[in-house]
Structure 1
Amino acid sequence: MKALGTLDKLKILGEGAKYDVCASTAAKVQKPGVWNIGAASPSGVCHSFTPDGRCISLFKVLLTNYCEKDCAYCPNRAGRDVARAKFAADELAGLFMDFYRRNYVEGLFLSSGVTHSTGHTMSEMLKVAEILRNRYKFGGYIHLKILPGAADADVAAAIRFANRVSLNMEAPTANHLAKLSRTKSFTGEILDGMAKINNHLTEQPGVSHSTQYIVGAAQETDRDILQSVTTLYNRYNLRRAYFSAFQPVAGTPLAVARATPLIRENRLYQSDFLLRLYGFTYNDLVFDNNGNLDQELDPKLAFALAHPELFPLEINKASLNDLLKIPGLGPRSAAKIVRVRREHRLTQPAELKNAGVVVKRALSFITIDGRFFGDRSKLNKPDRQSYTQLSLWGDSRDYLLTGAMADH
């Protein structure tokens, strides 16, 4: 059998890495200055927009797609007939630096299948990071995957080298994970790994961690996922959760399963932004009788329609937290309103537009200087059809481009 060349391996292992989701971190590199090369503002996706509008490229690749795990949805699962390849640590580090010096990429996202053992694979991944940091003095962004069951010492080493680490939850509970894999332990590998990461993050300020869910593969509900996400934020100081709508892959046990609609992924991201950036709690989210989010209404609007007793709010008096509950307002516009009204009383809808408010959405949920400019019938008997979709892609544009929810 002819040995694969470096570019042949890259074709296989770059393709294999596309199933890992990451997004822009908007975090500055905070590693010691001894690593000099490439200390640019980092990003966590292959092509991402930072808050200042710059596009960042990330070299996202697997160390190997040989894998001993049996995840039912995964194209790299053990036993699947697929081309396999593996990089040596020196080879991959050198390849990355070639790409970096040519200005193709500014950072590395490194994941891997599990081959020989978790410890062996983690050791090889750490060698790549160590070579980049110590031999090449690379000071740019590195995102390392923590493999399920990784030893405490390997987790600590990964956090020393990386700007971000991530361990995939894949499913929200042990019962759901059991539907996807017989070889992974939810408590012993996943939650224990989260605890190890959290413990070591205190030793490396500026490093963060994230996770990913495969949405719909284990017949979980949105409530299951968001309850799990809330626990991770509260208990393990998780920075970000990512959601990947399940898409069946030929040659896997779930090949004939139904694909998850992308709108479901969208609604989970919107709910997650409400939890992280808008002051919402898990109990504020509105689920149907099956435990799922409304796919026709964004979750913030669904909350407002489910709580007519809270609205309308007076725009000149509402607290910042209450302003963030109003459809059409986001963190930037709410903060601007708070600043403006210290010296000026708002009296007209046009003034809200100047503050960045999506006035069309907001008017039925607010009063301005005691006057109601909206349609009161929408508060008492919401006209669902008039709210359906509500500029869905406009709402999601920011998170698709920058990893931040639209200011609404």
Structure 2
Amino acid sequence: MVNERVMEKLGILSDAAKYDVSCSSGQSNRKNKDKGLGNASNNGICHSYTEDGRCVALLKILLTNHCIFDCAYCVSRKSNDIKRAAFTVDEVVELTIGFYRRNYIEGLFLSSGIFDNPDYTMERLVRIAKKLRLEHNFNGYIHLKAIPGASDDLLREAGIYADRLSLNVEMPTEQSLKLLAPDKNHKDVIKPMGYLKTEIAGHKEERKKNYKAPLFAPAGQSTQMVIGATKESDLEILGMADYFYQQMNMRRVYYSGYVPISNNDNRLPAIGTPVPIIRENRLYQADWLIRYYGFNVNEIVGFNQPNLDLDIDPKLGWALRNLHQFPVDINTADIELIKRIPGIGFLSAQKIVGARKFKKLDPQDLQKMGIAYTRAKYFLAFSSPFLLTKDYTAIQIKDHIMDTQKSKYRNDFSSQLSLF
């Protein structure tokens, strides 16, 4: 039975953990064995939804919200007047097992403020994961927040017991990090990222030769950037993300809109001016285009337009700036170009390429595949001729699409009201 003090700690440390958004759906394949607890399937575990739409849950907490650092953007900074708490190793283990047995969770996301020094904190995080794996035979998903500055030995041990590791770069540029967290630097994050990249790749090669070789962070590593606390453009933010994908084999980069937490620090945006949620959304959409659609960062944003358009998604924005590449004949076009058509997603493009082997596709076929035809039709060769006349400018197409969206939202809202 969990005592009242532990439940009080849980309330404090789960609330403090909500600012870390990098708990993700991983692709670990840690099988249940020897009648143990849990199973991290290929779909992985996340705080809300996996990539296939399955809703899952995990225990998301800090080991402690005590911290030796005074990062201006962090609610757990040492100068902030908040209630403090810290779990023991055994308390976290017991909470995880207890919640799992009650079917509340499928795994654990564990981060921490820094108690005394990086190794002191990291050693406790590792001990929790080790105890879950070895003493309780727990095979559910474990995501550990690696602590910048911790030793390679501790990072190596963490990778043996965790499915995913993450190190938060926190601010998009070194200049902003120095402004808001003078005691930190990007080097302390980049160096362990490189170490983990090498270890993950090495263990994968070893597993190819010997399937009994131990797993090492099979769901890879991720990181998080706080956006909106400083004035970086989306070009700078996505440029940093692209570096992580290209150079560190990062699985995911997360974008966390700054939440104003202080009235007395003139380095930060004022209370009442949080980052618009739509900006986070646009960054994730752009991130998706870079990872899965073959877009280069400079195709999405550039020096002439350093920030994403908040009115429309970045794929549509690119298409409107590149009307010379349209219309596209989906019966002959390369799949990479089909993926760039607004309204056609990654899987839909694959369906189109597969289906056109058997017949010449027409608009009705595309609508049956579930693509957003009211958006895509402006960029397709077999659309009504009036849509492709030179009289239609990018601005006019944008206006048409936005009007269609607004009309759809109004109709959906009216339908919902009619149910009451």
Structure 2 length as normaliser, TM-score?
Answer: 0.86
Bigger RCO (CA 8 Å, 6+ sep): 1
**Cα deviation digits, residues 222-279 of structure 1 (max 9, x gap):** 0001000111100000011111111101367337353211111111000001011112
Superposition pairs of residues 313-392 of structure 1, within 5 angstroms: 313-346=328-361, 348-368=362-382, 372=385, 374-377=387-390, 380-383=393-396, 384-388=398-402, 391=405
State the partner residue of 2:165: 165
Secondary structure of the 1:382 match is helix
**Aligned-pair identity (%):** 38
CA distance in 1, matches of 2:238, 2:392: 27
CA drift at 1:386 = 2.7
Q: 1:69 Cα shift?
A: 1.2
Change (3 A) 1:241 1:378: farther
Alignment match, 2:261: 249
Residue 220 of structure 1 and its aligned partner are, at CA, apart by 0.9
Deviates most, 240-249 or 278-287: 278-287
Deviation at 1:194, TM superposition (A): 1.4
SS of 2:395's equivalent? coil
Contact 2:23–2:143 (CA under 8 A) maintained in structure 1: no
Q: What are the Cα deviations for residues 294-350 of structure 1, in whole angstroms up to 9, with x where unaligned? A: 11111000000001111111111111100001001011111000001111111x311
Structure 1 residues 264 and 389: alpha-carbon distance in aligned structure 2, compared to 1, 3 A threshold: farther
Tell me which stretches of 4 or more aligned residues in structure 1 moved more than 2 Å.
Answer: 28-36, 40-50, 203-207, 250-258, 286-290, 370-382, 384-392
Deviations 1:72-100 (A, max 9, x none): 11110012111101111111101110111
Runs of 5+ unmatched residues, structure 2: 205-217, 410-420
- Residue 264 (structure 2) pairs with residue 259 (structure 1): no
Per the alignment, residue 299 of structure 1 pairs with 314
Matches within 5 A, 1:13-92: 13-22=13-22, 24-25=24-25, 27-30=27-30, 33=33, 36-41=36-41, 43-49=44-50, 51=52, 53-92=53-92
Contact 1:367 1:373 in 2 (8 A): no
**2:131 is the counterpart of 1:131:** yes
Supply the distance in 2 between the matched residues of 1:351 and 1:339 (Cα, whole angstroms).
Answer: 12
Give the TM-score, by structure 1 length. Answer: 0.89
Corresponding residue for residue 311 of structure 1: 326
How far off its partner does 1:30 sit? 3.1
User: Separation in 1 of the partners of 2:250 and 2:107?
Assistant: 21
Aligned in 2, Cα 1:196/1:4: closer, same or farther, shift over 3 Å?
farther
User: CA offset at residue 385 of structure 1?
Assistant: 2.7
Q: Which runs of 5+ in 1 are unaligned?
A: 396-408
| Displacement after TM superposition at 1:199 (Å) | 1.4
Tell me how large the CA RMSD over aligned residues is: 2.4
Tell me how far apart the structure 1 counterparts of residues 405 and 198 of structure 2 sit (CA, whole Å).
42
- 2:90–2:128 Cα contact (<8 Å) kept: yes
Residue by residue, what CA displacement relative to the aligned partner does 1:6-64 show, whole Å, maximum 9, x if unpaired? 1111011011100010354252423684683101436443332451x432111000000
Distance 2:142 2:35 in 1: 12
Cα distance, 1:389–1:294 mapped onto 2, change above 3 Å: farther
Equivalent in 222, 227, 237 of residue 234 of structure 2: 222
The answer to whether the 8 Å contact 2:67/2:76 transfers is yes
Q: For each residue in 1:154-182, what CA deviation from the matched residue of structure 2 results, as whole angstroms up to 9, or x when unmatched?
A: 11111111111111111122112112201
Give the length in aligned residue pairs. Answer: 388
| Counterpart contact for 2:235–2:301, Cα < 8 Å | no
Contact 1:313 1:365 survives alignment (8 Å): yes
What residue number does 1:210 align with? 222
